[in-house]
Amino acid sequence: MTTVRPKHGFYFTVQDVEQAKRNLDSHAWAREAYQAWKRRCDSFLELDDQLIYDCVLSMQDQTFAYGIAGCPDCGQPFPMNLEEQRPMFSDIRQFPRKLLTCPHCRMTFPNDRYPDTGHGFEKNGKGYYPVGMWNFFIAGDWFGGVRDHEGMVTKLTYLYMLTGEERYAHKALVLLDAFSAILPGTIGPRDFTPFGSDFEIGRLHMLTSIVHRIKVCIAHDYDWLYRLPELDSPSPALSRLGRTGTMRACIETMLNDYMLTEPGGPVYDLSGGNLTNLQNHESDGVRAMLAVGLVLDNEDYLRWGVQAVEAYFYNAIGRDGMYYEGSYGYSLFTGSVFLDVALLAMRASGEEQLKQFHPFDCSRFFQFSVRNHLDVLCQGHLPCFGDWGRDTRQSTEPDRKLLVDTYRAASFFNQFSPDPDMKREAMQCMEKLYAAAVPELGGRGIDLFFAHPPSPRTDGLERPRGNTVKGQFGLAIARDANDTTLLMRVGQNNTHAHDDVLGLNFYAHGKEISADIGYGIYGTNGHFGWGTKAIAHNTVVVNRDRELKRGQLYKRFAGGECSVIYEDGYLSAIEGQAPALYDIDAYQRMAAAVPIGDQASYIADFFYVQGAEMCDYAFHAFHEDSELAVNGVRQAAEHWTLAGVDAEEKPYFDYPGKSFGERLSTGETFTHALDGEKLQAWTPEPNNGYGYIYAVREHAAEGRTVSATWTSSQGGVLNWHGICVPQDRILSGQCPSLEGTVQHPVLIIRSEERAKQYAAVYQAISADEAGPKVTGLEPLKAYGELVTAFRVKLDNGLEDYWAYSPQDQTIKVETPYGEWRIEGRCAWMRLDEEGRMTAQSLIRADHAEFREATGQAEARKWLPVEQVDIHAETIWVKADQPRELPQYVKIRSGAGPASIYPVRSMHQDAGLLKITLKDSVILSKGIVRQIEDGGIDTVYPLPLGFDLSSEGVTPFRGKAMKGYSGGEAIITGVDHLKRLRVDIVKPFHLEEKFDIVDVQIGDFIQFI
């Protein structure tokens, strides 16, 4: 057996191989994974080299395709999971036949009716690629790809590393040689381009960034195969293609292809160390640049890659450890990219560089990669806002994928962090998650080659409790005593966001009840025109979103404010304010989760809009099939689409069978296009999603309240009760899932009041629930400005009372048992059958009185900041220490939205109250590249501070720039990702590093 040594060992080292052998001795899952790898690899060894070459080289002039268009005959979608797909494809031993069998109708393609010579065929405007799907599956399985980045070539290399048997190395080289010969010049999978297009969108079966993703695996493989003499012999692949060169030259040409940018992908160019946007595509490019630089000794690539790390960790990750792109799922994925970037940059750094900045000694990166994941669980679910798949899981057990990804992230820090506290916390996290991760361990190389806890815990994992706020990202999560959970986003819209600001994701009984439409495939008609739109979410749409242009995914928005965070022994509440979203006077929502039994809770929902011509409150429920009944109304009119209601001219699609919602189908595109439409990446005008809601009925309320009941095909029920005024128009209709497989009943309350207060109470009831239920609500007479008050009736004899206003004042509410007086703007109380108060919450009030009962809250004073230590996350104010440590503080600077920070500790210090925060007060970092005309150009992009609007609106407005050599400035705008408009206080030097700081002396702080 040969002793295997890599060229460098830049990803896994010789020591890691020894650790893998110890893992095989110590862990049953490791032995099972190894045996599974070995069985697959040994089976692959039986294939003749010539067959492998014939198969791979045949792909050179053929297509590759995911197959998102589904079956060309029955129209059903194909499964996307690798193992579910495996039985669909003919065995390699049947080559040159490349056959695909539909798992639904059992038709096998190509056939006489549907011939495919390798370039696919067109039907009803859609492209179908049976041979391309076969190529896609085999190439992904062998070379690595979309569903498993570690393909057969990498698994063969692992076996060679562990056994020293050159038969595994030889077969890996055959694959590398064959794919390397055909990769340069291919144009990527065809699913995302019109049929017949030669638009370049990747290489082989891999879309743009996936090419770079695979480069890390392939560079690692080449690193460990580098010393084999066979590499310096003529390449059989090149020879068959009529070219000359060694296998080594063939592979290195492939590694150097498609570097530094992405033809057909987002625009960037890493040449010279340039960074463009810090988007996940570009970070994949940095990852590939470092891996190829390490294995090919390209010093430029290494230098540029190391320089990029700080920018990513401080400018793509916020002070709260949240990734800037507007989807938590993308954050989770990007974490895996950044962990690789950190590892590769560490290997590429010298000792002096690591003293200045060690990637695994960055608390912000640790927060992003490890700590945050468990904080944001919603009844055990991974939050599904933004571009992420719809959440149909039914369980309160923590999401297994999230736990495994967190475990793996912690293993990187346990392996490499020089900080003993961080290393210890990483190991504790691994100990806590080990039992949950074990069923998945062995699926990736790091599982086998990295260390694991010597004494993992078996006491299970507790879900997060109480409220969670991520201040810079603008995410608020409220959890009550039953773990009924509400998630609201108030932060800026950015790449991979949806237009869901102040929308509610609602979790109860282990389900995402609010049925967020989700995201499946980027750029489809369903994604661009429907899933991203505000009307597809449970929120309020102002003025029909008429300002959205064709192709625009979401409104430009620099971020709002989480104005209320409240929890006590009775309920949990959050409020968000985002008037700038529509440039109106007020746009704010308060929602509270309120327990009424050991397992039962309801939601109180207040949405206030001022300054709109028209607003539409939208609500739907349940991912599965459901029916909607609207009560307390009489039918007033029928329409076909929501877009047709009050339209000056009847839209061309406003007829049965023509609406976008009815035509949305497999592949998230239309069954057929009407004149002027396209079947991919197309949006209508107006681009507001209203044409996807059809079979609309209009109702008129018979009284002051309306109720609606969604009944799920799985037995669940959601009861909704809302207050209305005679002018409100109640609309109901149907809207589609992304592929039209489910039609969701939707309720819309349309108002043309200048100041509109929506108020509703709703409760999700599981099929087997026997707890208390809300039976209705009754509006109450109240005195004050813009006050909404009502009584919630419960079937256990208790009654809940609510009062809400968007402004502080004295509120008086008439109840059947006397006057309820409130100083503030929001309060709740519970009365028994005799009208006696049993509980109360001063959610946003200083004082309340009801009969003999009173309530008093601590005054919410604004205290000036006296001192700041930005590197210690510490501020000082003149104040006495609160009786209880507040969970959060609010910090206000100027007239912009206030910032929210979690508190680590407080204590008296030299006559001041010293407050240490859990989050950094550094918003982003930069390096001065140029100074001119009241502006500073920076080397690092600033996506956390940039808004696409021409006015340069930015969350950084009014924030301080602190230079490392003494420069100081106040930011007035951000013109583009690398251009700050500033008022300079003290001059900066060229190439001076600086921090953008959230807190300054003279700002104001409030305990919440």
Q: Which amino acid is at 951?
A: E
639-660 tens-digit pLDDT: 999 999 999 999 999 999 999 9
One-letter amino acid for residue 647 of the chain = A
The tokens of 150 are what?
């570690």
28-71 pLDDT, tens digit each: 999 999 999 999 999 999 999 999 999 999 999 999 999 999 99
Q: What pLDDT digit, counting tens, does each position of 265-291 carry?
A: 889 999 999 999 999 999 999 999 999
Dmax (CA) of the chain: 96
Residues 6+ apart with CB under 8 A from 492: 326, 474, 557, 558, 559, 947, 955
Better-predicted residue by pLDDT, 111 or 896: 111
Q: What is the predicted pLDDT for the residue at 934?
A: 84
Report the sign of the C-alpha dihedral through residues 842, 844, 848, 850, in that order: negative
Q: 755-786: buried (b, 16+ CB within 10 Å) or exposed (e) per residue?
A: ebbbbbbbbbbbeebebbbbebbebbebebeb
The pLDDT of residue 959 is above 60? yes
Residue among 517, 327, 553, 471 at smallest CA distance from 903 = 471
Tokens, residue 62 = 């053929």
| pLDDT per position as a tens digit, 589-639 | 999 999 998 889 999 999 999 999 999 999 999 999 999 999 999 988 999
Distance CA 222, CA 164 (A): 15
Residue 662: pLDDT over 80: yes
Q: What is the pLDDT of residue 283?
A: 96
Mean pLDDT of 895-917: 93
d(CA 53, CA 174): 8
Joined together, the tokens standing for residue 874 give 């510490």
- Report the range of poorest mean pLDDT among 214-218, 731-735, 769-773, 806-810: 769-773
Question: For 433, what's the count of Cα atoms within 13 Å in the CB-facing half-sphere?
Answer: 29
469-506 residue pLDDT tens:
999 999 999 999 999 999 999 999 999 999 999 999 99
Q: What is the mean pLDDT of residues 118-146?
A: 95
Q: Does an H or E element contain 599, and which?
A: none
Residue 770's pLDDT band (cuts 50, 70, 90) = confident
> Taking the CA atoms of the chain, what radius of gyration do you get in angstroms?
30
DSSP letter (8 states) at residue 543: G
Q: 705-709, 783-787, 883-887: lowest mean pLDDT where? A: 883-887
How does residue 950 score in pLDDT terms, banded at 50, 70 and 90? very low
pLDDT band at 947 (very low <50, low <70, confident <90, very high): low
Query: Residue 807: which region, alpha, beta or left (left: phi > 0; alpha: psi -120 to 50)?
Result: beta
Residues 6+ apart with CB under 8 A from 462: none
Residue 454 structure tokens: 């010597």
Which two structure tokens, joined as six digits, stand for 599? Answer: 């397992």
Whether the per-residue pLDDT at 949 is higher than 60: the answer is: no
Spell out the SS3 assignment of 427-473.
Answer: HHHHHHHHHHHHHHCCCCHHHHHCCCCCCCCCCCCCCCCCCEEECCC
pLDDT 10s digits, 813-858: 999 999 999 999 999 999 999 999 999 999 999 999 999 999 999 8
Give the whole-angstrom CA distance, residue 452 versus residue 434: 8
b/e per residue 572-595 (b: at least 16 CB within 10 A): bbbbbbbbbbbebebbbbbbbbbb
Residue written as tokens 């468990």? Answer: 374
What was the pLDDT predicted at 187?
A: 96
Tokens of 552: 């625009």
CB 630 within 8 A of CB 699: yes
Contact 724, 704 (CB under 8 A): yes
- pLDDT of the residue at 689: 98
Beta carbons within 8 Å of 42's beta carbon, 6+ residues apart: none
Mean pLDDT of 178-186: 97
Cβ atoms 970, 985 nearer than 8 A: yes
The number of beta carbons lying within 10 Å of the beta carbon of residue 810 is 12
Q: Taking Cα atoms as reference points, which of 407, 390, 387, 409 lies closest to residue 398?
A: 407
Residue 2's pLDDT band (cuts 50, 70, 90): low
Q: Above pLDDT 70, what percent of the chain?
A: 99
Tokens matching residue 317: 């990750």
The residue type at 506: F
Average pLDDT, the chain: 95
> Looking at residue 86, what DSSP letter applies?
G
534 vs 500: CA distance, rounded Å: 6
Do 748 and 607 meet the contact criterion of CB atoms below 8 Å apart?
no
pLDDT of residue 1: 53
Q: Is the pLDDT of residue 894 over 70?
A: yes
Tokens (6 digits) for 493: 């819209």
Q: How does DSSP assign 963-1004, residue by residue?
A: ETTS-EEEEEEEEETTEEEEEEEE---TT-EEEEES--TT-E
DSSP state of 355: H
Using one digit for the tens of pLDDT, what is the confidence trace for 388-447? 999 999 999 999 989 999 999 999 999 999 999 999 999 999 999 999 999 999 999 999
Q: In what order do the strands lie in the sheet with 743-751?
A: 540-542, 615-620, 743-751, 729-736, 694-701, 633-638
Contacts of 82 (CB under 8 A, 6+ apart): 140, 141, 147, 148
Q: Which residues pair with 877 in a beta bridge?
A: 865, 913
Q: CA separation (Å) from 657 to 627, 671, 810?
A: 20, 11, 54
Q: Are 268 and 276 in contact, with CB atoms under 8 Å apart?
A: yes
Question: For 695-716, what is the mean pLDDT?
Answer: 96
- Return the pLDDT at 343: 98
pLDDT of amino acid 962: 97
DSSP 641: B
Region 863-876: mean pLDDT is 96
Angstrom distance (rounded) from CA 747 to CA 642: 11
